[in-house]
Amino acid sequence: MPIYEYECEKCKEMSEHLQSANAEPLQTCEKCGGKLTKLVTNSTFHLYGPGFYSTDNKRKYLK
């Protein structure tokens, strides 16, 4: 499940919440009851294994 970041418009508190991609966005701040705004942040997406970079040792195919 992805982690989403929210910021409260009233107290400016930032929080992270683990939610399903289909879940409705959170609406109210747990701390002060203000309105939450869902933030767009960089994701941490990594490709592991051989063959993802031009410097990797790739299999040589015979012609």
Q: What digits encode the pLDDT tens for the residues 12-57?
A: 999 999 998 899 999 999 999 999 999 987 776 666 666 556 665 5
Residue 33 located in a structural domain: yes
Task: Let me know if residue 17 belongs to a domain.
Answer: yes
In this structure, is residue 13 part of a structural domain? Answer: yes
Residue 59 lies in a domain: no
Please report whether residue 60 resides in a domain. no
Answering whether pTM is above 0.75, one says: no
d(CA 8, CA 19): 17
Q: Which of 15, 22, 60, 61 is nearest to 41 (CA)?
A: 15
Residue 38 CB coordination number (10 Å)? 13
Q: Does some domain include residue 56?
A: no
- Name the residue range of residue 30's domain: 3-39
Kindly state whether residue 30 falls inside one of the protein's structural domains.
Answer: yes
Task: Please state the domain count of the chain.
Answer: 1
Q: In this structure, is residue 9 part of a structural domain?
A: yes
